[in-house]
């Protein structure tokens, strides 16, 4: 395994996004199987594991806590706060909640679910318009001083929000969607992160599975799969967006790799401080993804992708409208 640095935090070049283990892409998978997969990932060199209180809610953190307890000192656990979730029942209001007192109560509950005395990387999951980001950063700064949190992160935050937060408590990592399927961060976000020395953790680095080449306009998703509600995954959009997949497939076929490996290899080649977190529930997909870590893409291959992608306009919004309103990108 190769390693990268997010701010001052060392992580495996590829992490493991654990959200899908508790649903989202259809029914969740049996917990013992996912405990085994998480430990298999660590056996293969993965040290960076990403979760959130909202995944479940709570179930994903509990899963990660069980899986990583025997190897806690060898891994980086990243989790998130920020939604208005009842700490006793898990009931959601549908809104955000980053009041400092709530953040601190959430962290206490997270420490118990994760079976640990500290969280390595704590993100605000979504910006709360009702709470100044300076207050949020101050609350996390207090938790860092208490030893309960190691590093501060922001997810789907806008440029000015990141600057304001950083002025109160240095930000170690920003997490947002980024892939060949969604390149929005390139315009303003990546230059800011480079300026401030902040690491970048792309989620959905395979375009929610689309860049693997296993999905086309005829694919039927499980009824509770969130992609059923994403404009980019409508049948018409998928048909149009296959042009991008064909570019990845063409290079993969020439290099005896897979489309997923090319998509991840392209992402890793963008900046040395980018550490994607592809998710999976299958061991063979985990192994496939990890194969991208040692993939050295040539400048000619990267240039080919840039040239071809420049002529393709991805169809459909990346998230439903209601969710987009909660992001800063």
Question: Could you read off the pLDDT tens digit of each residue along the chain, which spans 329 residues?
Answer: 999 999 999 999 999 999 999 977 777 789 999 999 999 999 999 999 999 999 999 999 999 999 999 999 999 999 999 999 999 999 999 899 999 999 999 999 999 999 999 999 999 999 999 999 999 999 999 999 999 999 999 999 999 999 999 999 999 999 999 999 999 999 999 999 999 999 999 999 999 999 999 999 999 999 889 899 999 999 999 999 999 999 999 999 999 999 999 999 999 999 999 999 999 999 999 999 999 999 999 999 999 999 999 999 999 999 887 777 777 66
In which residue are the tokens 């001052």 written?
Answer: 8
From residue 211, give the alpha-carbon distance in Å to each of 50, 86, 112, 170, 249: 21, 36, 37, 34, 9
Q: Measuring CA to CA, which residue among 215, 193, 201, 180 is closest to residue 278?
A: 201
Q: Measuring CA to CA, which residue among 46, 144, 51, 57 is closest to residue 97?
A: 57
Domains and CATH numbers, the chain: 3-324 (3.20.20.100)
> 76 by DSSP, 3-state: which?
strand
**Spatial contact of 19 and 226, defined as CB atoms under 8 Å apart:** no
Which residues, 6+ apart, have CB-to-CB distance to 191 below 8 Å? none
The token pair that represents 209 in the structure block: 């599975």
**Is 55 labeled as catalytic in the residue annotation?**
yes
Q: Measuring CA to CA, which residue among 56, 154, 54, 130 is closest to residue 94?
A: 54
Exactly one of 55, 123, 166, 178 is catalytic; which is it?
55
Biggest alpha carbon–alpha carbon distance for the chain: 55
**Spatial contact of 273 and 5, defined as CB atoms under 8 Å apart:** yes
Please report how the helices 31-43 and 283-290 are oriented relative to each other, as an axis angle in degrees rounded to 10. 30
Backbone torsions φ then ψ of 84, nearest 5 degrees: -85, 90
From residue 216, give the alpha-carbon distance in Å to each of 143, 206, 250, 281, 316: 45, 14, 16, 20, 15
* Predicted TM-score of the model (pTM): 0.96
CA gap 110, 91 in Å, rounded: 16
Q: Measuring CA to CA, which residue among 219, 220, 130, 125 is closest to residue 176?
A: 125
Spell out the alpha helix ranges (H) of the chain.
31-43, 59-68, 100-113, 133-145, 159-168, 189-196, 235-255, 259-268, 283-290, 299-309, 321-324
């Amino acid at each position: 395994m190769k390693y990268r640095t997010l701010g001052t935090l060392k992580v495996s070049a590829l992490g493991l996004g654990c959200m899908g283990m508790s649903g989202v892409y259809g029914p969740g998978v049996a917990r013992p199987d996912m405990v085994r997969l998480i430990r298999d990932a660590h056996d293969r060199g993965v040290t960076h594991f990403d979760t959130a209180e909202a995944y479940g809610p709570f179930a994903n953190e509990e899963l990660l806590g069980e899986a990583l307890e025997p190897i806690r000192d060898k891994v980086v656990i990243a989790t998130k706060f920020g939604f208005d979730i009842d700490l006793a029942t898990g009931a959601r209001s549908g809104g955000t909640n980053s009041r400092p007192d709530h953040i601190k109560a959430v962290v206490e509950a997270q420490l118990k679910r994760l079976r640990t005395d500290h969280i390595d990387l704590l993100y605000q999951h979504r910006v709360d318009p009702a709470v100044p980001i300076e207050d949020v950063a101050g609350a996390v700064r207090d938790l860092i001083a208490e030893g309960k949190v190691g590093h501060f992160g922001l997810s789907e935050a806008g440029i000015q929000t990141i600057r304001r937060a950083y002025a109160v408590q240095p930000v170690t990592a920003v997490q947002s969607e980024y892939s060949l399927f969604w390149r929005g961060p390139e315009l303003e976000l990546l230059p800011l992160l480079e300026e401030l020395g902040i690491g970048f953790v792309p989620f959905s680095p395979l375009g929610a599975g689309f860049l693997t080449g296993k999905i086309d306009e005829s694919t039927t998703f499980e009824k509770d799969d969130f992609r059923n509600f994403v404009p980019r995954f409508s049948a018409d959009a998928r048909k149009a967006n296959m042009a991008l997949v064909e570019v990845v497939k063409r290079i993969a076929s020439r290099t005896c790799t897979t489309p997923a490996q090319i998509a991840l290899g392209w992402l890793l080649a963008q900046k040395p401080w980018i550490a994607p977190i592809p998710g999976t529930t299958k061991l063979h997909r985990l192994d496939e993804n990890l194969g991208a870590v040692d993939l050295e893409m040539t400048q000619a291959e990267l240039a080919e992708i840039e040239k071809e992608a420049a002529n393709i306009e991805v169809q459909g919004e990346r998230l439903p409208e209601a969710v987009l309103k909660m992001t800063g990108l």
